[in-house]
Amino acid sequence: MQSAPEIILKVNALTKSVLLEEKTLELLQPIELSVNAGESLAIVGSSGSGKTTLLSILAGLDVPTKGQVYLKNYPLHQLNEEQRSQVRAEHVGFIFQQFLLVNSLTALENVMLPAELANLPDAKAKGLDLLKQVGLAQRADHYPSQLSGGEQQRVAIARAFITRPDILFADEPTGNLDSKTGKHIEDLLFELNEKLGTTLVLVTHDSKLAGRCKRQVEMDSGVLTEKLSVKSNEEDVSNSQTQSSIA
Amino acid sequence: MEIKKSTSWYSHSLRLLKNEIRRGELTIIFLAIVLAVATVFSLAGFTEQIKQAIVTSSTNTIAADRVLRLNSPASTEILSKSKEEKLRVARKIETESMAFAGDNMLLAEINAISSEYPLRGELRIKTSEDQQDTILVNGPPEGSVWVEASVLSRMQVDIGDTIEIGVLPLTIGGIVTDIPDRSYRAFIAGPSIFLNIDDMEKTELIQPGSRLEYKYLFAGEQDNIESFEKWLTPQLNDTQRWYDAKAAQNRLSRVLDSAEKFLSLASMLGIVLAAVAVAVASRRYGQRHQATVAVFKALGATINHISKVYIMHWGLLSVISITVGLLLGYGLILLGQEAVKNFIELDNTTLTLMPFITAIATGLICAIAFAIHPLSELMKTSPLLVIRGMSQLTKNKMSLHHAIPLVALFVLLFMFSQDLKMSASLLFGGLLVSLVLLGFGKLLMTASRSAGTKAGKALHLALANLKRRANENSVQLVSFTIAIQLLLLITVMKTSIIEEWQEQFPEGTPNHYLMNITEQQVQPLSDYVEQEGIANQGFYPVYRGRLAAINDEKTVSKRNRNTGNDNELATEKSDSEEEGRRGMGRELGLTWFNEVQPNNEVIEGTWWESNDQMPQVSVESNVAERLDIKLGDELTFTLATNTLKVPVTSIRKVNWQSRQLNFIMVFNKAALEQIETTSISAWMVPEDKKNEVYKFLSEFPTISIMDFGAIMKQLNKMIEQVSVAIELILVLVILAGSLVLVAQVQASMEERERELAILRTLGAKGSLLRNSVLFEFVALGAIAGLMASVAMEIAVYLLQTQVFQMDPSFHFDAWVIGIGAGASFVGVMGMLSCWRLLSLSSVTLIRRTM
């Protein structure tokens, strides 16, 4: 009998609220979620639904108002900013919609950055190798401003994988790209994900992109629901109104 | 959970620094610190040298560091003490005596000098009249004299001829061209004749009762001089005087004082400007790096790591900037020296360590104090920004609003000026002005917005932009305003200081004083000046007299032994404890006029009618105040054998700076006309008419002539020197001001880029965008120029009345310059900075801002 897959991310009764003009605004209703290692999960939903808020809490960039978040068994909800930074450095990779390369660093230096922050050896060699894998070996010494949007995002992907993160968070990774470049980036992302066996959590409103993930959840006004019978075929997707509770 | 330390911080820091330098991202902050350091170093160093040079050249006016003036030879004790203090000593005996050459005679100032004379400055002669080059000398050999040029023409003698002084025949060996301690007294007898001090005895001029002044000139290290001074001055009595260059000459020391104050003020303003530039640039630095910090944090960098990266980054930047600043500053000092070498002798000046230390401290204070707030804000950047988007970047308020930079600025100013009052008033005055400007600026921008709705499209867009960014623009506006104001201030103050100096010697300023003119001689002389068209100030009868009593209360006084003030206004010790009322304690030159003289203003009472038969007197206001003389008081004067008792009917304010014959006590004609006397006059004799005039005056051998032209030449040279120094420093201040403007424009660049991208996308034409950017900057510059002019006018008024003791004035032309220069400079700078942005294609623009 196969051993049960490792749970890499687990969320219990997570809520997030902000105080707006003395009124409490509930951004996230109590959320339960768990993600297995190697799984790919798409969080879909319209703008303002709360999916980005959820992503920032899952990645340890923000903390929940109530509830627990465990990432690789680290209780993120109990850790301070410094400790969460370290968890991110060691276990998390990021791809952002706006690429967010450091303008003052070259493509290669940007890729090396997370490896260096995590004190990994051979950052340069690994960086060059990854740049080669994303097809940008010739552009290693170029600054972000000298690269096109698609190229910048490829650098960002290389950067995200250099630490061999246990889990990769991608926030609308193709949102700022034209459809052709976007497709190319998608392919690259899933290809590397597959190859390195990384867990992928991506936020998108692009149903096609979401469809390439093994699993989809939908955010709507702070409520998270599991999309059942997930397939890459959109027509087969039907929403379940039951609150997600996947253990 | 244990936090692991990342060891890669130094490579991150170096990488950031290297790349940012290469990409020019640190140019502004680098330049700001470089300029702050270079400005302070060059200003402090150069000013120090110029001050030294000015002090040295003013020391020249007494030919020593200090002079001891006695009416008998000094005790051996004094001389041996001076030797102990390793001071150099020169002896000089001065007297007035007749010189004879055949039938010609001339009252001259006899200077018997020892071979050490002069200790400071130069005594120069030429050995023939046509000789161009002058020779540097000490004293004439025994048996020989050196004379001023006018002696030759007035006595009709030549070089090699013999003249007699006392009973001693002496050969004229040279014509004196430069005298280092030319007397500034209004009533010196005549041209100077120099002879060897060993010949003095042989002239038999040294007789009991003869009026001789024994001068002992001292020079040496400052410490030794001061220690000698400490030992000497308590032993001096009322007739013995110890003075330095400043005390020797009021007029000159006023020039020096205001030059010193001005240079120091200009330097301080330069520091403020440079500090503002650093503040603006570091604020932008903080904002620009927020994205980087957010990404670093998201990727797992700890605060510790980021702090180390930035402390090293900033530290290296500071060290490089300070080093470059020092080098540049030193280059500027050398350049400055080169520029003024024809005007100011800097050979005897040295660069001390102080400017160097001040400059480094300035760099460090700027780099730390002005960066600490932006940097600590930067450390607090939330990693959430990577998700929420960089548009949520927090905008720090202008760093100047925070206490640390203010304290730092104050420390800087104080360190530089050593003047608590000036530093504090500059800082708090500036702060107050900034706050007022902030509010006023917002108001103006709102007003221009509503005006803009009626204007063309580009202007409309520009003014809408101004209004929308009113908060940030107010801060920018304050910086622009302060920069423009400081530049205007320096320009106006420079002009008015130099003008005031020059006003003392306007065209036609008399260069000759004539004394001992008898009543019979007045008519032929005034006919002569009229016929020859020689500018003059008329003829005034002069009486020598003493103020004997005020309201029948006898006056006494005690001379202030330490002042070298030889002016008519001898300063008095305020604590006259002797019996009786405070008086002048010496003979005064008295006169009568029918009309109020120019440069005199009746401030109390009324001036008499010319035919008023009641004797009356008008008193100079400072003296009236000091001696507590009021309108209606009865003053008793003794004039030789006469006693005169007259009521005070007016008090006059006199401009003593004007080179005009001025009098403390002026009577009406009825008071003095019965008493016999001689007159004096002041003439402006053009250089080419000098010989002719002297020939004419030789018909009146009893008249004493004093040539003031040489003194004026010396003063003019000094004014010229100081003006050059001021101009040089002005250039540096302008550079600092320009950098503030550039830094400000640069600081708004990112946002502009974003806006332009949006407008471009919406289809705005290039010309519309260009015009709107141009109008926006021009409007901003014009508003800043207007406010700067108002602020400048207030500051100039305060400075003129409080610091420089000048008459306040209004400067309309500066307003025009302020507004015009503000609009064009800010407009051009803005356009230049935005030009690259404006010429980018829409696609590039959009991509750059995403």
Q: At A237, which CATH number?
A: 3.40.50.300
Closest among B347, B253, B329, B369 to B44, alpha carbons compared: B329
* List of chain B residues whose C-beta atoms are within 8 Å of the C-beta of residue A96: 386-387
Shortest alpha-carbon distance between residue B383 and chain A (Å): 6
Residue that is written with structure tokens 């019996």 in the block: B579
Chain A residue numbers touching B3 (CB-CB < 8 A): 82-83, 86
**Minimal CA separation from A132 to chain B, in Å:** 22
B676 and B597 within one domain: yes
In this structure, the answer to whether residues B317 and B345 fall within a common structural domain is yes
In a domain, A9, yes or no: no
**Domain termination site, one of B707, B730, B760:** B707
Q: Are residues B693 and B723 in the same domain?
A: no
On the question of pLDDT at B561 being above 90, the answer is no
Last residue of a domain, one of B707, B735, B769: B707
Which of the four pLDDT bands, split at 50, 70 and 90, describes residue B585? low
Position B232 in a domain: no
Computed over every residue of chain B, the mean pLDDT equals 76
Quick check: A105 and B19 CB within 8 A?
Answer: yes
For position B324, what pLDDT does the model report?
A: 93
Q: How far is B377 from chain A, CA to nearest CA, in Å?
A: 16
To test the contact with chain B by mutation, choose from A16, A79, A85, A171 the residue with the greatest count of B C-beta atoms within 10 A, namely A85
Query: Does the beta-carbon distance from A116 to B6 stay under 8 Å?
Result: yes
Q: Quote the minimal CA–CA distance from A224 to chain B in Å.
A: 19
Q: Do A61 and B384 touch (CB under 8 A)?
A: yes
Indicate the pairing of strand B104-113 with strand B123-126: unpaired
Range of the domain at B125: 91-196
Q: Do B19 and A113 touch (CB under 8 A)?
A: no
Tell whether A10 is covered by a domain: no
B819 within a domain of the structure (yes/no): yes
- Contacts by A59-62 with C-beta closer than 8 Å and gap 24+? A59/A88, A59/A92, A59/A94, A59/A169, A59/B298, A60/A84, A60/A87, A60/A88, A60/A92, A61/A88, A61/B298, A61/B383, A61/B384, A61/B386, A61/B387, A62/A16, A62/B384
**Which chain A positions have a beta carbon within 8 Å of B25's beta carbon?**
104
Domains held by chain B: number:
4
Question: Has residue A55 been placed in a domain?
Answer: yes
User: pLDDT by residue (tens digit) across A109-168?
Assistant: 999 988 888 888 898 999 999 999 888 899 999 988 888 888 998 899 899 889 889 999
Judged by CB atoms closer than 8 Å, whether chains meet at A117 and B299 is answered as yes
- Measured CA to CA, the distance from residue B579 to residue B559 in angstroms comes to 15
The answer on pLDDT for B532 being more than 50 is yes
pLDDT at residue A80 is higher than 50: yes
A150 to chain B: nearest residue by CA? B847
pLDDT at B565: 38
Contact (Cβ atoms closer than 8 angstroms) between residue B128 and residue B159: yes
Nearest-CB residue to B302 (from A86, A106, A148): A86
Residue B311 has pLDDT above 50, yes or no: yes
**Does any domain span residue B180?**
yes
Instruction: Name the least confident of A96-100, B154-158, B455-459.
Output: B455-459
- Average pLDDT of every residue of chain A: 83
Q: Which residues of B336-347 are buried (b: 16+ CB within 10 A; e: fewer)?
A: bbebbeebbebe
Nearest chain A CA: its distance from B303 CA (Å): 7
Does residue B111 fall inside a structural domain?
Answer: yes
CB within 8 Å: B1 and A79: yes
Contacts A143 to B, Cβ<8 Å: 19, 23
- pLDDT over 80 at B321, yes or no: yes
**Contact between chains at B299 and A81 (C-beta distance less than 8 A):** no
Q: Show which residues on chain A lie within 8 Å of chain B, measured between beta carbons.
A: 52, 55-56, 59, 61-62, 74, 79, 81-83, 85-90, 92, 94, 96, 98, 100-106, 109, 113-114, 116-119, 143, 145, 148-149, 159, 171, 176
Q: Which of A88, A90, A106 sits opposite B298 (nearest CB)?
A: A88
The answer to whether residue A221 is domain-embedded is yes
Q: Would you say residue B563 has pLDDT above 70? A: no
- Please say if the pLDDT value at position B489 is more than 60: yes
From the list B19, B387, B848, the residue facing A61 with the nearest CB is B387
Residue with tokens 């001025």: B662
SS3 annotation, B486-546? HHHHHHHHHHHHHHHHHHCCCCCCCCEEEEEECHHHHHHHHHHHHHHCCEEEEEEEEEEEE
From chain B, pick out residues whose CB is under 8 angstroms from the CB of A90.
Answer: 300
Whether A16 is in a domain gets the answer: no
Q: What is the mean pLDDT of residues B132-137?
A: 76
Question: DSSP letters along B73-117, please?
Answer: PPPHHHHHHHHHTT-EEEEEEEEEEEEEETTEEEEEEEEEE-TT-
B134 located within any domain: yes
The C-alpha of A238 sits at a distance from chain B's nearest C-alpha, in angstroms, of 29
pLDDT digits over B383-424, tens only? Answer: 887 777 655 444 444 444 567 777 877 887 787 777 777 777
Task: Give the three-class secondary structure for B173.
Answer: strand
Asked if B569 and B695 sit in the same domain, the reply is yes
B644-678 tens-digit pLDDT: 889 999 999 887 656 567 788 899 888 888 887 77
Look at residue B591 and give its three-state secondary structure: strand
The reply to whether B304 and B392 lie within a common domain is: yes
Which one has a higher pLDDT value, B681 or B370? Answer: B681
A/B interface, count of CB pairs below 8 Å: 107
**Looking at the 3D structure of chain A, how many domains does it have?**
1
Cα nearest neighbour of B14 on chain A? A105
Residues of chain B found within 8 Å of residue A176, distances taken between Cβ atoms: 850
When pLDDT is cut at 50, 70 and 90, the band that residue B449 belongs to is low
Closest to A82 (Cβ–Cβ): which among B3, B298, B299? B3
Q: B77, B111, B94, B116: which is closest to B220 by C-alpha?
A: B116
Domain match, B362 and B315 both: yes
Between residues B513 and B390, which one has the greater pLDDT? B513
What's the burial of A152, exposed, middle or buried (CB within 10 Å: 0-12/13-18/19+)? buried
* B337 falls within a domain: yes
From the list B1, B25, B298, the residue facing A83 with the nearest CB is: B1
Q: Are residues B33 and B119 in the same domain?
A: no
Residues B68 and B216 sit within 8 Å (Cβ to Cβ):
yes
Whether residues B476 and B390 fall in one domain: no
User: Which of B25-39, B486-500, B600-614, B701-715 is least confident?
Assistant: B701-715
Among B664, B643, B646, which residue's Cα sits nearest to residue B654? B664
The answer to whether residue B137 is domain-embedded is yes
User: What domain range includes position A128?
Assistant: 38-65+80-243
Contact list in A for residue B849 (CB cut-off 8 A) is: none
Q: B interface toward A at CB cutoff 8 Å?
A: 1, 3-4, 6-8, 11-12, 15-16, 19-20, 23, 25, 291-292, 294-305, 383-384, 386-390, 847-848, 850
Nearest CA of chain A to the CA of B391: how many Å?
A: 12
Please give the Cα distance from A105 to B296 (Å, whole number). Answer: 12
Q: Which residues of chain B have a CB within 8 Å of the CB of A100?
A: 291, 294-295, 298, 386
Overall average pLDDT of the B75-86 stretch: 90
Domain co-membership, B526 together with B568: yes
Nearest CA in chain A to B389: A98
> Do B136 and B14 fall into the same domain?
no
Interface ipTM: 0.82
Reported in sequence order, the residue ranges of B576-641 that DSSP labels E, i.e. its strands, are 581-582, 588-592, 600-605, 617-620, 634-639
Looking at residue B31, what is its pLDDT? 79
Write the residue in A52, A81, A85 that is nearest to B387 by C-beta.
A52
Shared domain for B30 and B174, answered yes or no, is no
Return d(Cα B493, Cα B804) in angstroms, integer: 10
CB contact under 8 A, B12 and A116: yes
Tell me: pLDDT of B8 over 50: yes
Query: Is B3–A86 a contact, with Cβ atoms under 8 angstroms apart?
Result: yes
Closest Cβ opposite residue B19 in set A74, A83, A104 = A104
How, if at all, do strands B104-113 and B192-196 pair? parallel
User: From A75, which residue of chain B is nearest by alpha-carbon distance?
Assistant: B1
In a domain, A99, yes or no: yes
- Which residues on A lie below 8 Å from B847 (Cβ)? 148-149
Mutate to test the interface with B, among A27, A43, A61, A97 (most CBs of B within 10 A): A61
- Compute CA distances B148 → B91, B249, B297, B690, whole Å: 20, 22, 84, 13
Contact between chains at B300 and A52 (C-beta distance less than 8 A): no
> Are B697 and B713 found together in one domain?
no
Does residue B259 belong to any structural domain of this protein? yes
pLDDT band at A66 (very low <50, low <70, confident <90, very high): very high
Using the CB atoms, write b or e for B305-320: b if 16+ within 10 Å. Answer: bbebbbebbbebbbeb
Amino acid at B828: V
Read off the pLDDT of residues B616-632 as tens digits, 9 standing for 90 and up: 999 988 888 888 888 99
* Distances A6 to A2, A10, A199, B363, B681 between C-alpha atoms, Å: 12, 11, 11, 57, 114
Long-range contacts of B459-466, Cβ-Cβ distance < 8 Å, separation of 24 or more = B459/B771, B459/B772, B459/B775, B461/B768, B461/B772, B461/B775, B462/B771, B462/B772, B462/B773, B462/B774, B462/B775, B462/B776, B462/B779, B463/B775, B463/B776, B463/B779, B465/B755, B465/B772, B465/B776, B466/B776, B466/B779, B466/B780
Nearest CA in chain A to B380: A81
Inter-chain residue contact A86 with B19, CB threshold 8 Å: no
* For A101, nearest residue in chain B (alpha carbons): B295
Q: Which of B645, B673, B707 is the last residue of a domain?
A: B707
Domain presence at residue A23: no
Q: Decide if A237 is inside a domain.
A: yes
Rounded Cα distance, B480 and B478, in Å? 5
Residues of A within 8 A of B300 (CB-CB) are 85-90, 92, 114, 117-118
> Cβ separation of B303 and A81 shorter than 8 Å?
yes
**Residue from the list A82, A94, A109 with its beta carbon closest to the beta carbon of B15:** A109
